[in-house]
Amino acid sequence: MEEKELEELLVQVGLRIAKRGEGTLFVVGDVKYDLLVDQNVPSFKVTENPKLLESLALMDGAVIIDKEGFLKAYGAMIKSRFSLKNYGTRHSAAITASKIKENLVVIVSEEDKKVRIMKNGNIIMQIDALQKGVEKSVSQAVGILESIGIGTVGTVGASILAPGLGLALLPGVVIFGSAYYLGKILSKKN
């Protein structure tokens, strides 16, 4: 399965959840966790059943997906090693999970209705679920990250504590990164 397809699916499902005023956490990769619920749903390829994925994501806890795109667990409590002032347990779990090398984390905030993509403990993209027509920008936004090597295969980002340092290239989508990567984005658009 292509990583870009999985990332796009998680963002699209996250946008639907955010628009309803609910939150969730998706982790693609390995992370330590305890189960909050019995695992009655067998593993499945998440891109083949997005509705089931969305239903499982609405439970308390995180949804854990392996690198091949198969469900590993749902209703999972990630053992957080980090906490952030003014942020809840979901964000602490997201930062912990994203600091593990090669993990991709998609966090949906019920408070501000934003979907954030994280790698290496940093937000690399933020998408506003309330922006009209933002769903149409997801594929293009993920493509921009992939084209400059900072999507699911790379790492870059601004700290969650300084989210105002991003660049909005598409309506409702903010891409975070160093001046070098933001320059690469701008040069590719010209």
Runs of H (alpha helix) within the chain: 3-19, 50-57, 89-98, 138-147, 179-189
pLDDT at residue 169, rounded to an integer: 56
pLDDT, residue 154, reads: 34
CA atoms of 101 and 78, how far apart (whole Å): 16
Backbone angles phi, psi at 33, to 5 degrees: -155, 160
Residue-level pLDDT at 123: 81
Inter-residue contact 16 to 57 (CB < 8 Å): no
Pair type for strands 62-65 and 24-28: parallel
Residue 179 has pLDDT above 50, yes or no: no
Q: Is the pTM of the predicted complex or chain greater than 0.75?
A: yes
CATH number for 43: 3.40.1700.10
Mean predicted confidence (pLDDT) in 92-108: 91
pLDDT of residue 93: 93
pLDDT at 146: 65
DSSP label at 131?
A: S
Could you report how far apart the first and last alpha carbons of the chain are, in Å? 31
- C-alpha–C-alpha distance, residues 5 and 22, integer Å: 23
- Interatomic CA distance for residues 155 and 177, integer angstroms: 9
pLDDT digits (tens, 9 = 90+) for 126-160: 888 888 888 887 887 777 666 655 443 333 333 33
**One-letter amino acid of 20:** R
Tokens representing residue 92 in the block? 């602490």
Q: How many domains does the chain have?
A: 1
Contact present, 37 and 74 (Cβ < 8 Å):
yes
Query: Comparing 46 with 135, which gets the higher pLDDT?
Result: 46
pLDDT band at 113 (very low <50, low <70, confident <90, very high): very high
Q: Which residue has the higher pLDDT, 1 or 71?
A: 71
50-59 pLDDT tens trace: 999 999 999 9
pLDDT of residue 138: 80
Determine what percent of the chain is predicted with pLDDT higher than 90: 48
pLDDT at 164: 45
Euclidean distance between CA atoms 29 and 54, whole angstroms = 18
Residue 53 structural domain = 3-189
